[in-house]
Structure 1
Amino acid sequence: MSTRVAVIGSINADLSVNVERHPLPGETVLGSGGELSPGGKGGNQALASARQGAETIMIGAIGTDPYADVATRLLREAGVDLTYVTTNPGPTGLAIVAVDPGGENNIIVVPGANATLTPQHIAAADEALATCAVAVVQGEIPVETIETASRILEPLGVRQILNLAPVLNLSSEVLRRSDPLVVNEHEAAQILLETQNRVITPATTEAEYGQKLATALVESGITSVVVTLGSAGAALATTEYAIHINSPKVEAIDTTGAGDAFVGALAASLAAGDNLQIACQRAVRVAAHSVTGHGAQTSYPSTTETLPR
C-alpha cells in the first residue's frame, strides 16, 4: 500500500520582517529583519510532510525570477519530488510577513506564478497522483485547478485533504470529497455562512466552539472536518464523534506557517496508516514545535527531533 503524499498548491518566497506592533491603516512603522525564506501554503505543507517521513510529490508553479530558487530550496534539500513543479514566465509567488513580539503575524500574498497553475498541469500528473495514498490541496491556487484535482483524485482512490485557506467558492462535491476538510475557526464560520447561511453561536471555550463548527460542517455532508484552534489545539468531527485535541503549551516566537505544519504532518501520518484522531494528535505537536522557531519552513521539525507534549 502506498504511503506517498502529493501536495497540489502554492509555492512562494517569504519576505519576513519584525515589527514592534502591526500598523494601523495609513500608518508607517519601522521594522527589522527582511530575510527571504521559502514559503507558500503548498510548499510549506509539502516540506512538513517530507520532514515527517512521507515520500512527497509537489505539484505547483514557480516563476523565472531569482525568488524561484529561494522558494524551492528546502523542498529540494528534503528530497521532495519537484518533477511536476512547472516554471512559467513572470514572478514567483511572494508573501510579505510581518511578525510582532508576541509571535502574531500579518501576511500579504502576491500569487505570481501560483495563479498560472492550470487544470492541465494536474492532468499531466495523473500517473504520479495514482501512486499516492493522500493528496493535499489548499486555497491559494485557481478554483478551476482545485475542482479538476478533486475530480481526478476521486476515481484514483486517493484520500483528499482540503485545506480551504483562504475560503473559495468551490462546488459542494469538492467539499464532500474532502476527508478531512481542514480549516481554522474563522474559515469554518465563513463556509457555514456562505454555503448554508448558518451562524454558529460561540461557546464558552474555543474547544467547544471548534467542536460545534466541525460538527455543523459534517452535518452538511462532509466526511470529516478538522478545525484548527491555534494554541487551543484542534477540534475533530466525523459522522461518529466530535472531540477536542489539546495542544502542548509552548512559548510562541513566530506563528507563521503553523497551520501548514499541522496539515503536512496530518497528511504524512494518514499516509502512514494512522487513523484521523492519532494523526491529529501528532499534527498538533508538530504545529506547536513550529511556533517555537522563526519563519515557516525553517521551523518545521524532522522525525529525529523531540516534539513537545
Structure 2
Amino acid sequence: MKKFSLDVIGLGTCNADFIMKVPRFVESDDEVDIQELLPSIGGSAANFAVGISRQGLKAGIMTRIGKDHFGRLAVQKFRDEGVDTERLLHINEKTGMAFIAVDSHGERAMYTFMGANAKFYLEKEDIEYIKSSKLLHITGMYKEVVEEASKHANLLSLNPGTLLSSYGLKTLDKIIKKAHIIFLNKKEVKILTGLNFNEGSQTILNMGVPIVVVTCGKSGATVYTENDVISSPTGGVEALDTTGAGDAFAAGFIASFVKDKKLEDCLKMGNIVAAQCVGRLGALK
C-alpha cells in the first residue's frame, strides 16, 4: 500500500477576513453601526485545511498570499494549527480579503477582493505536492487551475461553489468525472444541473461520481450514492455566523471519510463541525 506524506490537501483561497456584526444589512444610501469587528484568517482552503488538522489528520494547504502583514499572519495561523505550508506561496500581490457583514440572524453579506488568489498558477512542485496526499479537496478556485490539479489527485473531493457551478455540467464534465466526492448546497445543485437537488444529485451520480453530498443549511445534509440516500439533521444549533460553515462541514466529513468511517458517521461529523462553526463569530476563531 502506498504511503502518503499528507492525509488531505486543501486547494483554494486564503483571505484576511474582516467580520462585522451588524443589527441588519444596509440598503443603498443607508448606514448601520458595526456592533463588533473581528479580523481573522479565512478563505475556503484555509478554513478547510485548519478543520482537517483539528480532526487529527496531516493537512496541507495550496494557496497564494501576499508579501504583506496579512500574509505573515496567515503563515503563523497555519503553523499554529499544524497545517503544512510547503505550497503556501508568497507572491507580489496583496493577500486576498473578505469583508463580511453578519446580521442578527447569523446570515451574511460579503464583499471579496481576490488579490493573490487570482494569481494562482500550478507549478511543477504543486503537482508533486498533490501526488503526496491521499486526498485533494478543491474549493473556491478557477476552472483552469481545477482542471489541471484534478488530473494528479489520488482521490479528488470537489466543492465547486457558485463560481465553478455556473459553468454547468457540460463544461465541467471532465472535472466532475474525476471526482470521488462532490459537495454542493441546494442552490449550487440548481446552478450546476438546472434541476432540483434530488434530481440534480442523481444526474451527477449518473456521470460516475460515487458520492454526492448536498448541504441544506438548518435542515442538515444528505449524501447520495448509487445505492443509498442518507440524511442527517443539524441538531438545531442557533447560528451566530454562517461564515465558513460549508468548509467546516466538508472538513468534518472528509476527515471521517479518510479515517474509513461509514457515510452516516461522515455526515454526522460534518454536521457537528459545522455546528461548532456557526455557533461562533468567524470561521477560524
Give TM-score scaled by structure 1 length.
0.84
Q: CA offsets, 1:117-139, max 9 Å, x none?
A: 1022xx31333322322110012
Q: Distance in 2 between matches of 1:108 and 1:222?
A: 33
Alignment of 1:208-247 (within 5 A): 210-247=197-234
Aligned to 1:167: 163
Residue 99 (str. 1) matches residue 102 (str. 2): yes
Q: Distance in 2 between matches of 1:24 and 1:176?
A: 42
> Of 264, 267, 274, which aligns to 1:287?
274
Matched-pair contact (CA < 8 Å) for 1:48–1:264: yes
Aligned to 2:179: 178
Aligned to 1:301: none
Alignment of 1:273-284 (within 5 A): 273-284=260-271
Aligned to 1:151: 151
Gaps spanning 5+ residues in structure 1: where?
194-198, 201-209, 299-309
Q: Distance in 1 between matches of 2:149 and 2:105?
A: 38
Matched-pair contact (CA < 8 Å) for 2:57–2:255: yes
Gaps spanning 5+ residues in structure 2: where?
none
Matched-pair contact (CA < 8 Å) for 1:214–1:236: no
Matched-pair contact (CA < 8 Å) for 1:176–1:223: no
State the shift of 1:110 in Å: 1.0
Q: CA offsets, 1:269-297, max 9 Å, x none?
A: 22222243321221111111211111001
Secondary structure, counterpart of 1:67 in structure 2: helix
Secondary structure, counterpart of 2:45 in structure 1: helix
Q: CA offsets, 1:158-209, max 9 Å, x none?
A: 211100113323531111211211011101110002xxxxx33xxxxxxxxx
Residue identity matched to 2:101 = A
Q: CA offsets, 1:231-266, max 9 Å, x none?
A: 111111111222211112212211111111011122
Aligned to 1:133: 134
Q: Distance in 2 between matches of 1:82 and 1:47?
A: 11
Matched-pair contact (CA < 8 Å) for 2:252–2:272: no
**106-115 or 125-134: bigger deviation:** 125-134
Matched-pair contact (CA < 8 Å) for 1:38–1:72: no
What is the CA RMSD across the aligned residues, in angstroms? 1.7
Residue 90 (str. 1) matches residue 93 (str. 2): yes
Matched-pair contact (CA < 8 Å) for 1:60–1:85: yes
Give TM-score scaled by structure 2 length.
0.91
Matched-pair contact (CA < 8 Å) for 1:227–1:236: yes
State the shift of 1:220 in Å: 4.0
Matched-pair contact (CA < 8 Å) for 2:23–2:35: no
Q: Distance in 2 between matches of 1:106 and 1:181?
A: 25
